Structure 1
Amino acid sequence: MKSFFSFLIILLSMDTFAQQTPYELGNKNQTATYDEAISFYEKLAKSSPQAKLLTYGSTDFGKPLHLLVLSKNKVFDPAAIRKSNHRILLINNGIHPGEPEGIDASMMLARDLLKDNLLPEDVVICIIPVYNIDGSFNRTSTSRANQNGPEAYGFRGNSKNYDLNRDFIKTDSKNSAAFQLIFNTWQPEIFVDTHTSNGADYQYTMTLIPTQKDKLNSILSGYLTKTLVPALYSKMQQKGYELIPYINSIEETPEAGITGFLETPRYSTGYTTLHNTIGFMPETHMLKAYDKRVESTYQLLKTYVDIVERDAQLIGENKRRADEAVAQQKDFPLSWKLNEKVWDTITFKGFAAKYKPSTVSGANRLYYDRNEPYTKEIKYWNKFEPQTVVSKPVAYIVPKAWDRVIALLKLNGVKLSQLAEDTQLQVDSYYITDYKTAARPFEGHYLHSNVQLSTKPQSLQYYAGDYIVYANQPQNRYIIETLEPQATDSFFTWNFFDSILDQKEHFSAYVFEDTATGLLQHDPALRTLLEQEKAKDPAFSKNPAAQLEFVYKHSNYHENTHMRYPIARLQHDIKINLK
């Protein structure tokens, strides 16, 4: 009887492994719905001890984020996996549900790896079936106007209309918090986020955005550029899907050249870079048939599995060394600029760009003539150089009132300490002296940019429970690129600290005139400063209100917290009583 039940279980497992996806069951121009994808993975997990379907947190849609884990050794504890020196590959799908190739390709990949007993020995594969669950339910056939199939698909925005691939720092969505929980729990060495492109027409089915090499830690960048990317290109060409860098054209068509894509931390692969994880954003070409796009994604994901298995020990050693280097690193770039004087030449297979009269407007319009394919050399600019660099302090001090910042630091594995008692500390404070704010909202925020700072040494009072963040951690890049206000995607950029930009107290001129008179009488240095400003600025010398404001701002009556960035820099390693 026991053998009969064992045989029955084997038969049921074989039946599950034979299950086909909605994409395969249809005309290969259909993509799985969220419910179909989760049901598929639930059956896989029930049928195999080498698969486990986990849930994390919640999303704005009210459903948890699922994670399928494939482990040949049946170990599903991430700490135990890291301790056994196995690599973790994380694949994310459906961040833009209208770009669903990865959803279907990952379902087939997971099934085939289990069915054919092809799970790698030293690599655990983690798959997020659908990240933007909200958008996947908002299913139409028209929101991607430039895309060739599938027949129906989800919408780019989530249920709060956020583009989740702009939400990895500000974390306005619950989806982002759940993803960060997954990412920092599993700590993958390699991350892949599947997408579909938009833009020019050309012969390739698959384009690729690796983590920007100049932003990545040099140890990881060397492996990425010299080993990993060349292997991907070689193996994909052998499989009939030649790769090309993502077509980020400098002009309307690619012939004039393309540039690398600078993914800042708001993007998924920009975020993973902050944690020394090598990230990839494969972008299939939107005009190719859907079956070709799914097949190329399947083959690329399988290629990642093979290469990570091949280089498992090297990838792990590189990550360990990179973490150690970043913990000791002194200077950190905060913004980057493309070097337009340096480029490579690459072979590009495109279609002739032509113009003809528009049937809508009558003006000349662009089109690509697929009857005239070409192969030519084009320029590829992909060298980015630091534009703003900051030296790290010993630590940052975060008052406990800024709980949203503290929660995100904790979520990202940053080690925090708390003051055990009220303490006066000598720190460097930033004052925001100038900044620009966008005229229109972007992803729910009016972003700040071109932030100008002055630094002032101060002795400030801190309180028991306030947080100390020492900059001696592998998470240094996340710490510094979020807490330094001038960074491209800092918390300040995303409006976390806008309340400090408001002045809370002021004066009535008729009252403060007498006070200002007394200040100038008793403070010759202030009088000299005022006279110097008058001599320097004729308009100021004729403006009584401006002069009174000048005296006010240079007196103790002016609130010293106005425009003071609340997170201070501790520059000296002193003994502090911590909890």
Structure 2
Amino acid sequence: MFAFLLASLMSLAPTPPPAAWRTPFENDPTGNTTATYAECIAYYQKLAAAYPQGLHLAEAGPTDIGQPLHEAVLSADGDADPVSTRRKNRRVLFVQNGIHPGEPEGIDASMMLTRDLLQQPQLRKLLADVTVVVVPVYNVDGMLNRSASGRANQNGPAAYGFRGNARHLDLNRDYIKQDSRNARSFAALFQKWQPDVFVETHTSNGADYQYTMTLIATQHNKLAPALGTYLQSQLLPALYQGMEQKKWPMTPYVDFEGSTPESGLQAFLESPRYSTGYAALFHTIGFMPETHMLKPFAARVHSTYDFLKTVLETVGQQSAALAAARLAARAGQATQTSFPLAWALDDTQAETVQFRGYEGRMKPSEVSGQPRLYYDRAAPFTRPVKYFNTYKPTAVARRPTAYLIPQAWGEVVDLLRRNGAAPEPLAQDLTIPVEVYYLEDYKTTPKPFEGHYLHSQVQLRLVSETVTYRKGDYVCYLTDAAPVRYLIETLEPQATDSFFAWGFFDSVLQQKEHFSDYVFEDVAADLLRRDPALRQRLEALKAQNAAFTGPAQLEWVYLNSPHHEQGFNRYPVARWLGPGKLPSN
């Protein structure tokens, strides 16, 4: 089958380019070469010099390896200004490649498509209503770390980059926390363009099946209703149909709980740590095309080329509908009072897809002698499979008027600013009523994940308090112009990828003062004598729990005494519900 697939690529490939414009991938007759970083950037520089009225290439910020991130803007008239682009009522398609440079198909496909959009008049027409922004290589660090052995499960290319960046971070877990310079540069670029559609190119791992291309789309339940409906009813059907017409039948990303895909596919839930989850916070529809690792590299590159072309065609054809859906999403958010923070799969609802797979069978392992799974490519099938594509909220937050953030948490304030929020410093000291969270319980990962010990299953106690804020502390309003979903999903502690979840506020989880038992025994006795209600509560707890012994009782009295530090387990960001605005600079 693979031999037939490779043979058919000649008829599916775009019009052959002049010899001088062939990419390193195209110059390899075996189709098993991906460009190096130097070759990739040099190719874009060559295109930009030859076609200045169609391609604008610029450096877009630093990366952790010291090399710049690049921004390549394709437009019908050379307009590389986002404000002007919007004024001309053009949609913006943002394509990012090489986040995992061991999955390099998008790097080579985008080089070819950029060239063809500039050189082929029939393709140049696709830019009439759509401006395309391409990041040629996002993880420059990983692309420079080139080898031939980093991906044991993958069929080519001959050499490729590494998944981690220079800080050994997986950048597709860094979109919300932005530990890397790469992510900070990306955020500035994303906020600059505020794209309508975002595509990040990948290669899959996992089961074996007939498809070359699989697709992760933004989980539609997470989008505003108008945008989610548009995605499901118009955009996705057109993309699947377009790829079918181009001889690349496509399936949802093959993620499942059982032993083989026939157990039922599950839509991938991309929280804001991932690219498409981050994009969704700003009403941008995101796609992660995932080519299948075991297909020949040439097939993976050409299918990625055709997917990107299909997205461009479809965004142009549906320009008005896409714009209307995003406008309705923003209008709906203006009156939205509650926001989901976390999600769970609804396994009571399922669609049916016709899945083209291979039979999964068992045979003895040559390594262990034990039974092992393999997919029998001599036994292809097409059969109906359940597709679970509905998620339901498991935690919800009410929308406040604003969040108040003490200036001590400057790193958080910088993150907010970098992502389109506008924290305003208070102009004077203020004492105002606010809602404050106390952290009652949470679970923490036993090992670090992407440089952090993640918190989850957060339990909160919400308390109304009167709090004094100092001049220079920050207020962040949730106005119609603000990135409301971004603010809520980063500043509400129960959100899956909140700043609390990623450990930005961990210092409040450590008690700074305590007591010596022999000293506090006398203090506690005096407190209980002077506060009969406190003693009554203590006696009730003793009666209810035989394990509530002396040391635990003493600790309880301390925690309920004036000596207990107020900042311990007290979430620093407060919710303000008042009308109007506070005095700020």
Same fold by TM-score greater than 0.5: yes
Runs of 4+ deviating beyond 4 Å = 15-18
Q: 1:54 aligns with which of 41, 44, 58?
A: 58
3-state DSSP of counterpart to 1:409: helix
Q: 2:485 aligns with which of 477, 492, 512?
A: 477
Contact 1:16/1:44 (8 A) holds in 2: no
1:106 corresponds to: 110
- The answer to whether structure 1 residue 68 and structure 2 residue 75 are counterparts is no
3-state DSSP of counterpart to 2:221: coil
1:523 corresponds to: 531
Q: How far is the alpha carbon of 1:135 from its aligned partner? A: 0.5
3-state DSSP of counterpart to 1:103: helix
Q: How far is the alpha carbon of 1:384 from its aligned partner? A: 0.6
Contact 1:327/1:471 (8 A) holds in 2: no
Q: How far is the alpha carbon of 1:321 from its aligned partner? A: 2.0
Deviations 1:82-131 (A, max 9, x none): 22221110000000000000000000000000001333211110000010
Letter in structure 2 aligned against 1:19:
W
Contact 1:17/1:115 (8 A) holds in 2: no
Contact 1:397/1:468 (8 A) holds in 2: yes
Distance 1:318 1:85, change over 3 A: same
CA distance in 1 between counterparts of 2:247 and 2:258 reads 29
Q: 2:91 aligns with which of 87, 95, 109?
A: 87
- The answer to whether structure 1 residue 565 and structure 2 residue 565 are counterparts is no
1:375 corresponds to: 382
2:550 corresponds to: 544
1:534 corresponds to: 542
1:97 corresponds to: 101
Q: Equivalent residues in 2 for 1:249-328 (5 A)?
A: 249-328=256-335
Q: 1:139 aligns with which of 131, 134, 146?
A: 146
Q: Equivalent residues in 2 for 1:6-405 (5 A)?
A: 18-27=20-29, 28-48=31-51, 49-117=53-121, 118-119=123-124, 120-405=127-412
Q: How far is the alpha carbon of 1:178 from its aligned partner? A: 0.7
Q: How far is the alpha carbon of 1:189 from its aligned partner? A: 0.6
Quick check: 126-135 or 521-530, which moved more?
521-530
Q: How far is the alpha carbon of 1:517 from its aligned partner? A: 2.6
Q: Report % sequence identity.
A: 52
Q: How far is the alpha carbon of 1:57 from its aligned partner? A: 1.6
Q: How far is the alpha carbon of 1:133 from its aligned partner? A: 0.5
Letter in structure 2 aligned against 1:43:
K
CA distance in 2 between counterparts of 1:363 and 1:506 reads 56
Q: 2:424 aligns with which of 417, 420, 433?
A: 417
Distance 1:273 1:556, change over 3 A: same
Distance 1:96 1:576, change over 3 A: same
Letter in structure 2 aligned against 1:23:
F
Deviations 1:547-578 (A, max 9, x none): 22222211211111110000001122255211
* Structure 2 unmatched runs, 5+: 1-16
3-state DSSP of counterpart to 1:482: helix
3-state DSSP of counterpart to 2:304: helix
CA distance in 2 between counterparts of 1:428 and 1:567 reads 9
Quick check: 353-362 or 232-241, which moved more?
353-362
Distance 1:339 1:152, change over 3 A: same
TM normalised by structure 1 equals 0.95
Quick check: 358-367 or 155-164, which moved more?
358-367
Contact 1:328/1:472 (8 A) holds in 2: no
3-state DSSP of counterpart to 1:427: strand
Distance 1:18 1:222, change over 3 A: farther
CA distance in 2 between counterparts of 1:557 and 1:363 reads 62
Q: Equivalent residues in 2 for 1:493-512 (5 A)?
A: 493-512=501-520
CA distance in 1 between counterparts of 2:515 and 2:301 reads 66
Distance 1:447 1:422, change over 3 A: same
TM normalised by structure 2 equals 0.94
Letter in structure 2 aligned against 1:220:
L
3-state DSSP of counterpart to 2:286: strand
* Structure 1 unmatched runs, 5+: 1-14
Deviations 1:493-529 (A, max 9, x none): 1010100001111122232233223222222222222
2:559 corresponds to: 553
CA distance in 1 between counterparts of 2:44 and 2:38 reads 10
2:7 corresponds to: none
2:413 corresponds to: 406
Letter in structure 2 aligned against 1:553:
L
Contact 2:217/2:286 (8 A) holds in 1: yes
1:426 corresponds to: 433
Q: How far is the alpha carbon of 1:416 from its aligned partner? A: 2.1
Contact 1:95/1:164 (8 A) holds in 2: yes
3-state DSSP of counterpart to 1:214: helix
Contact 1:204/1:243 (8 A) holds in 2: yes
Q: Work out the number of aligned pairs and report it.
A: 563
Q: How far is the alpha carbon of 1:417 from its aligned partner? A: 1.9
Contact 2:61/2:70 (8 A) holds in 1: no
Distance 1:121 1:574, change over 3 A: closer
Letter in structure 1 aligned against 2:546:
P
Distance 1:522 1:313, change over 3 A: same
Contact 2:104/2:160 (8 A) holds in 1: yes
CA distance in 2 between counterparts of 1:535 and 1:359 reads 62
CA distance in 1 between counterparts of 2:500 and 2:334 reads 23
3-state DSSP of counterpart to 1:538: coil
CA distance in 2 between counterparts of 1:351 and 1:574 reads 62
Q: How far is the alpha carbon of 1:317 from its aligned partner? A: 2.3
